Structure 1
């Protein structure tokens, strides 16, 4: 896991065509594709879903790409307390060998109201997939925005094989 500075992260977002309107101190920054994604997959959960199912689902999503970035909606990456000490980081980059660690974190992180880990984004290394995993996920579903239709198809197959409850929203540009 590598720490990414605010400048490097902002450059990544610009190259990826991801906008960051500031919603103020209460809302933080909201990441979104400009233009919008080709496909949106929303994975639904129920209270009885077992931790192993959530971990399997998360692993299948992360299998789309080799590298992923993790960024909190509010605060800095250091606020997620994944590294000892406080490094000046806006995001963390997880390489292929660290995807299991990222999946485990996503499924077990603190979700108490006000905790920085409550509302996070996970972005593929290519910038083609944007996952919003926040305090609304339990009630509204996990939002996965994809620019690449082929990636969306592969992910749909993987999630269907797992038996995931999901919705697919197609958008044409």
Structure 2
């Protein structure tokens, strides 16, 4: 199996959704921790396709964009659904998670003091979307999609 390397800052952030399934599947990987000083020098940022990390190295192949990395891992490790329909449902859930994550990011970085009460009030409704998806699959006994662990089930 190729050696995987995650290139990212010393935080959970965008890479935690990668680390969890890798760990769950018993797949080894290494981490190249990027310091703020290294990032500010700019060389790594220029190397990154979209000027941002994480980067994921799979042997001599380097991939950027966290959701593309997740889909790559899912396909390689049989975690992307058993059918095209399940893969599409996983993509749908992934997009829902991304929408939810962006609302959280906006709260934290743009409007924490004034927005947290409204955010908390809306939380039940936001999580309810995922609860409804789960309840429609095997009466909520298992996974959001299909009958096995899928890469985005970790979010």
Normalised by the length of structure 1, the TM-score is: 0.24
Normalised by the length of structure 2, the TM-score is 0.26
More helix by share: 2
Question: Of the two, which has the highest radius of gyration?
Answer: 2
More strand by percentage? 1
